[in-house]
Amino acid sequence: MDERAERRLTKDGIRLYDPSDFAGMHRAGELAARILDDVAGLVVPGASTAEIDEAITRMVDEAGATSATIGYKGYQHASCISVNHVVCHGIPGDKRLKDGDILNIDVTVIVDGWYGDTSRMYVAGKLSRKAERLIQVTHDALFKGIEAVRPGNTFGDIGHAIQAYVEAHRMSVVRDFCGHGLGRVFHAPPNVLHYGRPGTGAVLEPGMFFTIEPMVNLGRPETKVLADDWTAVTRDKSLSAQFEHSVGVTEDGVEIFTLSPGGRFHPTWG
């Protein structure tokens, strides 16, 4: 339960947090981002994704925080690790990384009741030219979306900025998964689509907290979920990439809660 009696909601059912709530989101976001920084050294050919996830579980524990994903709808891991043509929600397991594999690691932690949700791309060994291009376009598409975050713009403006950028590079935006409101909860309204038309959708207001987490495919946008009920893959087996930040709308723009403390958000940095 929330201690605060008064809770502000827009007509679209989107919660508006108070200026004093940004600090809690920064603490949660920073921990999630620091864990993603610290796990980078473990992403090497021969490592299994289960080993990487176990290290993440330990880091969450050592920080005195809670994993938001362990126990979420029956999910049993502290991260999702999505390799190559896996779009999202890859389940950590015994399979070992090979040289040139690209992977998204997605971590959500709870700190003092606040949720921090972020993901980024890594490479095991040597990054191929085509994977590097996909990763760069996906990263830059996330930032095109973030640049559209300011009061008075709409969620359609965010989606349009991402879609236009991706399609200009002849890649495709996944439609089957979206970003989401978060704050004192993991998933809340609105659905943050990574495609759309300018001026459509709810109007952004100061105090909205949500994720932007575009998934971009080298081939077609269609996905399917495997028999484990989690792992989403590209139907055409093409490579897929994703980056995710948790952000808050301010009076004049945006704050990113999940910036990398070590400046390592992109696999070729740091």
In the bound complex, what is the minimum distance in angstroms from residue 213's beta carbon to ligand MF3? 5
Q: Is residue 225 involved in binding ligand MF3 (CB under 6 A)?
A: no
DSSP for 130-155 reads HHHHHHHHHHHHHHHHHHT-STT-BH
* CA-based nearest residue to 84, from 200, 217, 262: 217
Between 211 and 238, CB nearer to ligand MF3: 211
Choose the binding region for ligand MF3 from 13-21, 43-51, 67-75, 189-197 (rule: CB under 6 A): 67-75
* CA-based nearest residue to 100, from 84, 118, 116: 84
Which of 75, 185, 188, 198 binds ligand MF3 (CB under 6 A)? It is: 75
Between 89 and 184, CB nearer to ligand MF3: 89
Decide if 224 contacts 86 (C-beta within 8 A). no
Q: Is residue 149 involved in binding ligand MF3 (CB under 6 A)?
A: no
Choose the binding region for ligand MF3 from 21-29, 71-79, 128-136, 200-208 (rule: CB under 6 A): 71-79
**3-class secondary-structure state, position 53:** helix
Q: Is residue 216 involved in binding ligand MF3 (CB under 6 A)?
A: no
Between 82 and 163, CB nearer to Co ion: 82
* CA-based nearest residue to 82, from 235, 232, 191, 202: 232
Q: Is residue 106 involved in binding ligand MF3 (CB under 6 A)?
A: yes
Helix extents (H) in the chain = 22-38, 49-62, 129-147, 155-168
Distance between CA atoms of residues 259 and 147, nearest Å: 15
Between 79 and 234, CB nearer to Co ion: 79
In the bound complex, what is the minimum distance in angstroms from residue 181's beta carbon to Co ion? 10
Burial (CB count within 10 angstroms: exposed 0-12, middle 13-18, buried 19+), residue 104: buried
Residues that bind ligand MF3 in the complex, under the rule CB under 6 A: 69, 72-73, 75, 80, 89, 106, 108, 117, 211, 213, 230, 244
Residues that bind Co ion in the complex, under the rule CB under 5 A: 106, 117, 119, 211, 244
